[in-house]
């Protein structure tokens, strides 16, 4: 009997593998974005080597125009292609919101289902690299508020690979949000299966089972939630941690089943707390489980300010493990 050795790789390489697999499976899949072809392979090197393998007609460098990138991707998707468009930084989504919200997200509805828009918008997001106020935001709440658009935020390399392949072959437009701090940092690397191991959109993952409180998160903050759970386990508090993986579609059944069991919930995300996705999820939990809850749902998120450049202020902006621990403890007062 042989055993397969774990293949520990970072998220950046896992994403590259996902696109490589998708391009190998379907010649209609192509990539477009700023500097994504050789020699750079994108600002984060995520598409490194793919233009050498598939040619520059399938890995297309574009001008610095987010509106043009997404407009071209929408047109290609309508014509039967499966474009994967890279918007370098999530803040730049603001430059192409018309193409995303008025075209990509609405064409299927406006055509009565006759025309689909199978495209992926990959974008990096998150604070922690001192990129400043215009290059560090998590803006997933904008996308979640747009009917017709699916939203994915992976927390580890294996999920990033499986979710990206599924997104590329999904018939609807998908905003794929990649936490930039996790691209090449070895502390976030994990065992990633070889080959086409797709993870379905809309299926959350129970990362850690518990019985006293449910912590719901996505992206990088899942790791902080697990650290908080480890700290509280030493104090006799059993914390269940759910990684949503996708915000749209939302695996509401898994969330409600967990909170029905624990009767307490904390929602954690890096984005500004006010009107963040945590507010919507908290509302859904209250609406469905009001009579079951032992305490109001708590939210942990970013401060109500643009992301600061100074390292100490940037750290203060982002929710920390201690904030999650404090929120959990507040539910037992």
Ordered alpha helix ranges (H), the chain = 11-25, 50-54, 66-78, 97, 107-110, 140-144, 157-168, 221-233, 252-262, 277-289, 311-317, 321-330
Residue 8, token pair as written in the block? 């520990």
Per DSSP bridges, beta strands 239-243 and 265-272 are: unpaired
287 is catalytic: no
Of the residues 17, 34, 86, 135, which is catalytic?
A: 135
As beta bridge partners, residue 206 has: 242
DSSP string of 279-299?
HHHHHHHHHHHTTT-SSPPEE
| Helix (H/G/I), strand (E/B), else coil: 239 | strand
Of the residues 66, 137, 140, 240, which is catalytic?
A: 66
Our CA dihedral for 72, 276, 156, 230, rounded to 10 degrees, sits at 180
DSSP string of 130-164?
---TTS----HHHHHTSTT-EEE--SSHHHHHHHH
Measured CA to CA, the distance from residue 219 to residue 91 in angstroms comes to 17
Q: Which of 153, 118, 128 is nearest to 139 (CA)?
A: 153
Residue 228: φ, ψ to 5°: -65, -40
Contact partners, residue 292, CB within 8 Å, separation at least 6: 259, 260, 263
66 is catalytic: yes
Q: What is the DSSP letter of 224?
A: H
Q: State how far the alpha carbon of 169 is from the alpha carbons of 30, 96, 237, in Å.
A: 12, 23, 41
Q: Active-site residues: which are they? A: 66, 135
């Amino acid at each position: 009997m042989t055993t397969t050795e774990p293949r520990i790789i970072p998220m950046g390489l896992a994403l590259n593998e996902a696109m490589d697999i998708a391009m190998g499976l379907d010649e209609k899949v192509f990539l477009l974005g700023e500097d994504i072809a050789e020699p750079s392979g994108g600002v984060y090197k995520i598409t490194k080597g793919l233009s050498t393998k598939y040619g520059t007609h399938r890995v297309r460098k574009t001008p610095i125009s987010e509106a043009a990138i997404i407009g071209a991707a929408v047109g290609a998707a309508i014509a039967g292609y499966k474009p994967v468009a890279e918007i370098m930084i999530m803040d730049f989504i603001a430059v192409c919101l018309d193409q995303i919200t008025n075209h990509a997200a609405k064409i299927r509805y406006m055509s009565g289902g006759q025309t689909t828009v199978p495209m992926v918008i990959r974008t990096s997001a998150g604070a922690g690299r001192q990129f400043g106020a215009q290059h560090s935001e998590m803006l997933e709440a904008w996308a979640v508020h747009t009917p017709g658009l699916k939203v994915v935020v992976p927390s580890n390399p294996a999920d990033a690979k499986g979710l990206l392949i599924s997104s590329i072959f999904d018939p609807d437009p998908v905003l794929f949000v990649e936490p930039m701090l996790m691209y090449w940092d070895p502390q976030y690397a994990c065992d990633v299966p070889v080959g086409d191991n797709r993870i379905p959109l809309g299926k959350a993952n129970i990362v850690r089972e518990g019985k006293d409180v449910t912590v719901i998160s996505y992206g990088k903050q899942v790791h902080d939630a697990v650290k908080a759970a480890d700290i509280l386990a030493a104090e006799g508090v059993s914390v269940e941690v759910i990684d949503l993986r996708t915000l749209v579609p939302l695996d509401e059944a898994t969330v409600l089943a967990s909170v029905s069991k624990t009767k307490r919930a904390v929602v954690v995300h890096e984005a500004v707390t006010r009107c963040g996705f945590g507010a919507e999820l908290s509302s859904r939990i209250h609406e469905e489980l009001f009579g079951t809850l032992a305490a109001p749902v708590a939210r942990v998120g970013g401060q109500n300010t643009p992301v600061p450049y100074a390292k100490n202020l940037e750290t203060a902006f982002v929710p920390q493990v201690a904030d999650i621990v404090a929120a959990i403890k507040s539910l037992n007062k």
